[in-house]
Structures are given as C-alpha cells and as structure tokens.
Amino acid sequence: MVERFVFARIQRIPDSTLRGLAERLARLVLENWFFALVFVLLWRFPYIVADLSGSQVKPSRPTGDSAFWQSEMARALTLACLAMSYNLLFGFSGIVSFGHALFFGAGGYVTFILMGHYDAGLQHKALVLVLLVALGLALFSRLRARALVVVTLSGVLLALLLLPAEGAISFWQAAAVALLLSLIVSLTSGVVTLRVRGIYFAMFTLALAEVFWVLAKSGTFRSYTGAEDGLAFRSLLPPALNVTPTADGSRLTMYHWTVVFFAIIFLAIRRYMSSPVGRVMLAIRDNEERAQTIGYHTLFYKVLTMVFAGAIATLSGLLFMIWATDKIVHPDTLSLAYTVDPLLNTLIGGVGTLTGPVIATLGLHLGETYLRNETFTLGTRVFGLLAVWQIIALAIAGALVGVFRHSLTRLGERLIGAGPRTPRYERLMLAYRGGVFVTLAAVLLLIGGQLRGEAEAVYNVADLWDLFLGALFVVVVMVLPHGIVGTWNRLWATRRLRRLERQMRQEREAAGASKP
Amino acid sequence: MHSYFAHLSPQHRRSWLLVVAYVAVLLTISLADFGANTAGQTMFRGVLLGMLIFLVASGLSLIFGLLDVLNFAQGAFLLIGAYVGYDVYLRVDGSADVRFLAAIISGVVFVALIGAIMEMGLIRPLYARPVFQLVLTFGLGAIFLDLVERYYGADPKQPLAPPSLLNSNFSLFGQSLSYYRLFIIVLGIVMMIGVFLLLNRTRIGIIIRAGVQDPEMVQALGINVWRVFTLVFVLGAGLAALGGIALIPYQGATLGMGNQFLILAIVVIVIGGMGSFEGTAIASIIVGLTRAVAEQLSLAHFNAPVLAETSVLLLMIAVLLVQPNGLFGRGE
C-alpha cells in the first residue's frame, strides 16, 4: 500500500536524475525501515528504561535500572553477534562446528595475555610461527585455497611488522593481533579439516576447542591464564573502555559503540550473504556435490566463510569480556557452553534466517536476566506453568501420545467412525487428539499435585532456568522445526501464495465471464 | 579368526598395524619410564578404563551406525543408571549381593524404558532431520542431568561395597587390587563378546547389520525396521546404564560422570570409525591405555594433569588427520 503510493508519487517527478535518486532513496528506506527502527530503539534503549523505571541514564552512584540494563543489553548484543556468526556457518553454509567457542574465548585470552606479557622478542617468534603455518598450509592445501592462504598470510605478516619493537603493546594492537591469530587458526583448521565431512568435522572442532579449554583451565599455565580463576584484566584495560556506571557517561558511550558494532556485524553478514560468494555458499549448503560439479571450488568458499565467522566470533568475544562486571576472562568462555548457546539460539530463532538468532538471543538472555532477579512461589501460580512438574507432565503426556499414536488413531476411528479424509474427519480427529493430550496432562498434573507436598515452596528461577531452557529446546525442535522467524516467514510466504492464487483465479473467472 | 584377517580390506589391515604399533609404543614408553611394576599397574588401569568406556561407547556406536543419531543423551543414560542403581541399592534389604543384583536389574530396566519412550516418542519423528536429532538428544541430556540433580542432590555419592564374592583383594604387579576391578574387565569382555555374537550369529544381528548398510532395503524385504531401531536404542541405553552401575562400587556416583564418559565415548567412536563395532572395541582399549599412561606420565614429570586431560583429544585429532573416517570406518 505505502510502497505503491510512494512509487506512484515518484513516477510523477519530471526530472529524470532526481527521479532516479528519489527512487533509490525510497527503496532504501522502504526495504530497511524495520532495521532502522530496531536500530533507533536499541540506541534509545537506555533512555526508555530510564523513563520506565524512573532511574537515570548516567546515575551519580553506580546503581539504577538503566545502568544495569545497559550492560545486560550490551552483553546480549555481543552474544547475538556470536549467534549470527554461528548461523553464518550452520545456517547459511551447512558447516556444523562444535568448536566455535574457541574463537569466542580466544579474543579475550590472546589480547590480555599479550598485553600482560609482551616483549620485543615476540615479534620474531610470531614471524617464525607464521612461516611455519605457511609451510604447513603449502603442504596441505590445494590450488585455489592456496591463493587465499597466500593473501591472508601476507596480510598477517604486514600487520606483525607494525607491532612495537620495544615497550608495551597497546590494547588496540593486541586486539588486532588476536584477530589475526584467530584468522590463522580458522584458516589452518579450515584448510586441513574442512575436507572431512559432517559429523567428523564437528567432532574435530569439538576436540580442538576442548584442548584449548583444558589448557586454559590447567594450573600449568597459571601465570599466563590464571587457571580456573580466570584472567583478570582490570588493570590492563584502557580507561576509555573501562565502563563505569557513573555520571561521566562512559558506560553510555560504550553502550552506543556496542550498538554500532552490532549493526556493522549485522549489515556485514547481510551483505556477505547477498554477494555472489554468499550465493555460492547457499548452493554448497543445499548440495555440495552439485556446486562442485558446476565448477566451484567448494573448499575455498567454506574456508572463507569459516574465517569470516571466526573473526566475528573473536571480536564479539572480546567485546563480551570487556562488558563483564568482574573484568575477568573466564576459562568457561572456551567451553562447549559457548558453542551450544549460539547453536540453540540459532535453532530457536530459525536456522538460515538473518534476524532469527538475534531475536532468540535477545529474548532468552534478557528474559533470563529478568527472571533471575525475581523469585516466584508455586502457590501464586505466576510462574506455575513453567514449574518443574508441569513441564514433566506435559512432556510425559506428549511422549505417551506419541508412543501410542497408532492405537489412539484406531480408537479414535472407532469413536468418530472411520471414513474418507474429509475436512470434517480431520477436524474431529484433531479435536480428539488434543482432548486426549489435555486429559492426560490434566491427570498427570493432578497426580503431581497430590504427590508433591511442597506446593508452596519458593522456587528461585536460577534453579529452574536450565530445565526451562532444555524443555524449550525440545519443544522448539519438535514443534517449530524452522525456528521462530523461519516459521513466521513460511506463514507469510504461504499467505502471499494463497492471495496470488486467489487473484489469478478471479482474473481467470473474469476473463471467462467476459467471453461470449 | 584366521578368516577374519584374511578378508580385511587394505585400509583395515593398515589400521591394525597402526594399532599394534601404537600399543607397543605406549608399552615401551611406560616400561622405560616407570619400571615393570608401575607399567603393569598402568596398563591394568588403562584396560579397566577402556572397558568402562566401551560400555558407553558400544551403545553410542550401535545407535549411530543404525540410526545415524549421535546420541548426546548417552552420558545421561549412564548417569541415570548409576543414580537409580544407587538408590535401589540403599533401599533394598538383604545382603550386598542381592542389593547389587537388584541395583543392576532395576537401573538397566529403568534406563531401557526411558530409552524406549524417548526413541518412540521423540526421536522417531525426526529421522528425516539429522541435525535436529543431535540437538534434541543434547537438550534431553541437559534435562536429564538437571532432573537427576534436582532429585538426588548435587553432592557426590560415596562408593558402595561391592558384592561379597568380589570384596577381597588379589595381588598384581606388586599392588593389592580389589577383585571388583577384575570383575569390571571381565564384564566388559563378556559384553564385547556378547554384542559381537549378537551382531554376527543371530537373526536379529543380521537385520541390524543389514540396517546399518541400507535401512530402506531391509524394510522392502518385509522386516519392521522401526522395531529393530527401538531395540537397538534400548540396547544402547541399557549398556550405558550397566556401565554406570558398574562404576558405583569403583568410584561412587557424581553428576559429572555422564559427560565425562560421553566425551570419552565420542572420542572412541570417532577413532574407531562410526558404526564399526570392532573399531569401537579396539578404540576403547586404546583410549583407556592412552589416558592411563598419560596420567602416569604427567604424575611423574609435569606435576599437573594437562597431558592426561588433553592426550585423548590429541589422539583423536591425530587419527582424524591420518584417517578421516576413523580407523575402521566405512569409506564415504
């Protein structure tokens, strides 16, 4: 509606160059108004929270809802970047990696270890390392991938020459080195292992990440990594990045930078996927052998995507750690938890959709933060639907219906009367199945209420959250196979198709009626 | 046995050579480094660990081979088996023998039942979507772990007394060892032979192996593959539960044991080649030995368990680089 109106107006502009400009502008705005709105909302988020809760955006004392939610939102945004980079691999390229946390954690570890232990001899060591990697890759890689290797490695070499020959290393230089290192690692592991297909690749990456997790946790390197306590970096952080929720507004500035970072990553991924390379990636995801037959060197594209995703994960990991309240890099950032987290968010939001991972991450992370700050009693039934037994009862009822579905169908046919699959029959059958499920669940809930004596017990959401997440996960996998955004998109696509069909039918009928 | 070696493919023959050479290297290292007695103890511990891993990994491998599901809930099966067995052991009256037997039966049956419900109700609708199965079993594993923690508490459970028959010690390599450890090894070997015979000498085994090759063809021959799928899933769950209960008198029950053995089992089936039973059996022992030797090495030299914790994963990476389908895996 709006589009048709706007473009009709633009067509009436007499000057052709002006018309072209206006058309481009209108297209830009009309196609991206949603993202622009979200960006503005994110930008204004601290002020909105401040208005709603009556707290200050820049409080004089380090408290207040707005200051608290600024950091929570920023952390959620960095996690959303991680989920998007995982989606780039898993959803857009069909690469199942279980070691994505390696890149996430590496950002913080490499940067702050470098800053703490930099000496001038490091440059030579790094050069030797790069040359060794180059030698290894030259042995392992095939022709087209070799070009990629050469380009990346020469970039890395150039960047290493920019490091200070003496004195301390600044935060930005260290972060750049961390990014370069993650490029090298993803390039190496990609070139060597991406030829291994499917589950073996997943296991390989899992092992690689686990090795580094164990190394980060072990006491052997305590002076570097701080072992299980984590690497404290408060003293290393430059003052501009050391966010404090006080009146100087450094947290607010940092929050806005985080929003900008998020927007850049989002646009970069969108641009990447709509570029020719992205199209090839989609082709590889759908059928790798076909893409190979057409003539694409699939390994090259897969390595390229892996390098890109690894770089995004490294940067968002670094930003995530800067936002940590205790200013410690925990070894858990390398653990499987930070691979599973984006994987879940991608699945729940919608595999292979742009906005799905973002929506799921923001929803789950902010929801968790909100719920963890409250306690609920089962007696009040506020949180009743999510309480333990209810979830179990629903799961058992669902499983029972699934197990006995054949006998249930037979029983249902005896009740309704077996017949052709008319819409009425389908409706009755659906009602019957739903009725059985509800009855079963109700009976189980009743039994549960009888069995469980502590009906008035106070449940801390922190205890229930993992269970809730697991259950949500199972439900999404079983019921919404395309995730939230994927299902939504499909719904819209079907609706549009129906409308188109209806339109064509009407036109056909009109054409038929006009004929004599 | 002779005919087995005569009909090996070149790749598998090379894998056998690699395995023998690797074990020989491990043996040499430990003999040279620790002396005969400690080396013997280390090897014994390695085989013991290998057998425990085998109980979890064989189920995982069977399920993956036939159903193409990498079952991340396998660790939770072990966990549930151990905790339920522990509970039953404490509740039943009678001698330690009776209690232990009751624990084994109840734990295995309970977990098998869970496995059956899970396969029929949740996994079966997802056979067309492999990645989702992976994710589903992962979620279920997390739920099971949480439920066990909620029901039995987070505190680790102390080891219980083994059955009276096995509650005495014997001396091996200059160390006094409980007969129960020998029992675990024997149990592992019996299960190995049992599953091997089941797969190779029975009708159901033929159907399972045929199903690994081509499920649709088996179905076309008029065999209800779904029932066989469920059976294999139940068998795998039961084996894992058995492993969990066998652990109780040895090291008690902790919440972490499920995931600990799951990772080892995944490493084992990757090294052995997914879906290959012989590969799983051999790789279990290799992984057990590697872990034991690495533990002993890091105890002797490094004063920190880095080597012990990473050794198994490094072994897996090395095998994947040399032989991307695992030692005894099928080619692509």
Q: What is the 3-state secondary structure (H, E, C) of A184-235?
A: HHHHHHHHHHCCCCHHHHHHHHHHHHHHHHHHHHCHHHHHHHCHHHCEECCC
Interface probe with A: pick from B114, B224, B271, B306, most Cβ of A within 10 Å: B306
Amino acid found at B29: I
A402/A399 Cα distance (integer angstroms) = 5
CA angle B118, A459, B115 (to 5 degrees): 10
Do A207 and B121 count as a contact with CB atoms less than 8 A apart? no
**Which one of A388, A402, A477 has the shortest CB-CB distance to B139?**
A477
Q: Per mean pLDDT, which of A83-92, B54-63, B94-103 is the most reliable?
A: A83-92
Q: Kindly list the distances between the CA atom of residue B185 and the CA atoms of B53, B54, B102, B196, B295, in Å, as whole numbers in the listed order.
A: 11, 10, 21, 16, 20
The total of other beta-carbon atoms located within 10 Å of residue A35's CB is 15
**Which one of A207, A215, A477 has the shortest CB-CB distance to B136?**
A477
Q: Kindly list the distances between the CA atom of residue A141 and the CA atoms of A110, A298, A316, in Å, as whole numbers in the listed order.
A: 26, 13, 29
B15/B20 Cα distance (integer angstroms) = 9
Q: Cβ contacts of residue B196 below 8 Å, gap of 6+? A: B277, B281
Q: Give contacts of A 397-436 with B, CB under 8 A.
A: 398-403
B235/B66 Cα distance (integer angstroms) = 12
Total number of residues shown for chain A: 516
**Which one of B131, B147, B317 has the shortest CB-CB distance to A208?**
B317
**Which one of A400, A402, A470 has the shortest CB-CB distance to B142?**
A470
Residue whose C-alpha is closest to residue B227's, from B200, B207, B212, B241: B207
CA of A399 vs chain B CAs: smallest distance (Å): 5
What pLDDT, on the 0 to 100 scale, is given for residue A460?
58
A6/A27 Cα distance (integer angstroms) = 10
A417/B241 Cα distance (integer angstroms) = 44
List CB contacts (< 8 A) between A481 and chain B.
129, 132
B34/B296 Cα distance (integer angstroms) = 8
In this complex, is the C-beta atom of A206 within 8 Å of any C-beta atom belonging to chain B?
yes
In this complex, is the C-beta atom of A387 within 8 Å of any C-beta atom belonging to chain B?
no
A410/A459 Cα distance (integer angstroms) = 42
A171-193 helix and A101-116 helix, angle to the nearest 10 degrees: 140
B22/A141 Cα distance (integer angstroms) = 28
Based on the number of CB atoms within 10 Å of its own CB, is A205 exposed (0-12), middle (13-18) or buried (19 or more)?
Answer: buried
Confidence check on the interface: ipTM exceeds 0.95, yes or no = no
| B109 HSE (CA, 13 A, CB side) | 7
The total of other beta-carbon atoms located within 10 Å of residue B331's CB is 8
What pLDDT, on the 0 to 100 scale, is given for residue A247?
62
A502/A499 Cα distance (integer angstroms) = 5
Do A343 and B135 count as a contact with CB atoms less than 8 A apart? yes
What pLDDT, on the 0 to 100 scale, is given for residue A209?
87
* pLDDT, mean over chain B: 83
Q: Cβ contacts of residue B22 below 8 Å, gap of 6+? A: B286
Report, in angstroms and rounded to the nearest whole number, the Rg of chain B calculated over CA atoms: 20
Amino acid found at B295: E
Instruction: With cut-offs at 50, 70 and 90, classify the pLDDT of residue B28.
Output: confident
Residue whose C-alpha is closest to residue A405's, from A441, A444, A436: A436
Do B122 and A478 count as a contact with CB atoms less than 8 A apart? yes
In this complex, is the C-beta atom of A203 within 8 Å of any C-beta atom belonging to chain B?
yes
Q: Kindly list the distances between the CA atom of residue B142 and the CA atoms of A263, A388, A463, B77, B181, in Å, as whole numbers in the listed order.
A: 33, 14, 13, 11, 30
Interface probe with B: pick from A218, A225, A299, A335, most Cβ of B within 10 Å: A218
B277-297 helix and B306-322 helix, angle to the nearest 10 degrees: 140
Residue with structure tokens 């969108």? A270
- Closest residue in A to B259 (Cα) is A336
Residue whose C-alpha is closest to residue B270's, from A103, A211, A141, A206: A206
**Residue A460: helix, strand or coil by DSSP?**
strand
CA of residue A201 relative to chain centroid, distance: 20
Q: What is the DSSP string of B130-158?
A: HHHHHHHHHHHHHHHHHHHHHHH-SSPBP
Do B306 and A467 count as a contact with CB atoms less than 8 A apart? no
The total of other beta-carbon atoms located within 10 Å of residue A370's CB is 12
List CB contacts (< 8 A) between A347 and chain B.
132, 135
Do A203 and B129 count as a contact with CB atoms less than 8 A apart? no
Per-residue pLDDT of chain A (516 residues; tens, 9 = 90+): 677 788 888 888 888 888 888 888 888 888 888 888 888 888 888 888 888 877 777 777 767 777 888 888 999 999 999 999 999 998 888 888 888 999 999 888 888 888 887 776 666 777 777 777 777 766 665 555 566 667 777 777 776 666 766 667 788 888 888 888 888 888 878 877 776 767 778 888 888 888 888 888 877 777 777 777 888 887 788 777 777 666 677 788 888 999 999 999 999 999 998 899 999 998 988 888 899 899 888 888 888 899 999 999 999 999 999 888 788 888 888 888 888 889 888 888 888 888 889 999 998 888 888 777 665 444 444 444 445 666 667 777 777 777 677 777 777 777 766 666 677 777 777 788 788 878 877 777 666 554 444 444 555 556 667 777 777 777 777 777 778 888 888 888 888 899 899 999 999 888 877 665
CA of B294 vs chain A CAs: smallest distance (Å): 14
CA of B117 vs chain A CAs: smallest distance (Å): 7
What pLDDT, on the 0 to 100 scale, is given for residue B138?
80
A343/A424 Cα distance (integer angstroms) = 41
Do B120 and A192 count as a contact with CB atoms less than 8 A apart? no
The two three-digit tokens of residue A181, written as one number: 């290192």
What pLDDT, on the 0 to 100 scale, is given for residue A1?
67
**Which one of A206, A220, A470 has the shortest CB-CB distance to B302?**
A220
List CB contacts (< 8 A) between A474 and chain B.
122, 136, 139-140, 143
The two three-digit tokens of residue B132, written as one number: 């989702």
Per residue in A197-228, pLDDT (tens digit) is 677 788 888 888 888 888 888 777 777 777 77
**Residue A239: helix, strand or coil by DSSP?**
coil
The two three-digit tokens of residue A498, written as one number: 């129906």
List CB contacts (< 8 A) between A467 and chain B.
143, 146-147, 150
* pLDDT, mean over chain A: 79
Beta strand A458-460 with A375-377 is antiparallel
Sequence ranges of the domains in chain A? 1-54, 65-362, 380-481, 484-516
φ, ψ for residue A162 (rounded to 5)? -80, -10
The two three-digit tokens of residue B286, written as one number: 């290799």
- DSSP β-bridge partners for residue B157: B253
Q: Kindly list the distances between the CA atom of residue B224 and the CA atoms of A400, B63, B219, B231, in Å, as whole numbers in the listed order.
A: 21, 17, 6, 11
A171/A388 Cα distance (integer angstroms) = 46
Q: What is the DSSP string of B72-124?
A: TTHHHHHHHHHHHHHHHHHHS-S-HHHHHHHHHHHHHHHHHHHHHHIIIIIIG
**Which one of A347, A402, A470 has the shortest CB-CB distance to B120?**
A402
Residue whose C-alpha is closest to residue A76's, from A365, A301, A279: A365
CATH T-level topology, domain B22-322:
ABC transporter involved in vitamin B12 uptake, BtuC (1.10.3470)
Mean pLDDT calculated for residue range B235-255: 87
Q: Cβ contacts of residue A165 below 8 Å, gap of 6+? A: A120, A123
- Closest residue in B to A199 (Cα) is B70
Residue whose C-alpha is closest to residue A236's, from A111, A99, A134, A383: A111
Do A192 and B321 count as a contact with CB atoms less than 8 A apart? yes
List CB contacts (< 8 A) between B321 and chain A.
192-193
Confirm if A425 and A472 have CB atoms less than 8 A apart. Answer: no
Per residue in A405-424, pLDDT (tens digit) is 777 777 777 776 666 667 77
First to last CA, chain A: 35
List CB contacts (< 8 A) between A195 and chain B.
324
Q: Kindly list the distances between the CA atom of residue A433 and the CA atoms of A68, A311, A424, A509, B31, in Å, as whole numbers in the listed order.
A: 46, 49, 14, 40, 67
List CB contacts (< 8 A) between B274 and chain A.
199-200
User: Is 80 exceeded by the pLDDT of residue B231?
Assistant: yes
CA of A203 vs chain B CAs: smallest distance (Å): 7
Do A403 and B326 count as a contact with CB atoms less than 8 A apart? no
Amino acid found at A384: G
Do A214 and B313 count as a contact with CB atoms less than 8 A apart? yes
The two three-digit tokens of residue A116, written as one number: 């703490």
Report, in angstroms and rounded to the nearest whole number, the Rg of chain A calculated over CA atoms: 28
The two three-digit tokens of residue A97, written as one number: 């990696």
Do A473 and B117 count as a contact with CB atoms less than 8 A apart? no
Do A398 and B274 count as a contact with CB atoms less than 8 A apart? no
B276/B329 Cα distance (integer angstroms) = 6
Do B326 and A473 count as a contact with CB atoms less than 8 A apart? no
What pLDDT, on the 0 to 100 scale, is given for residue A95?
84
What pLDDT, on the 0 to 100 scale, is given for residue A317?
93
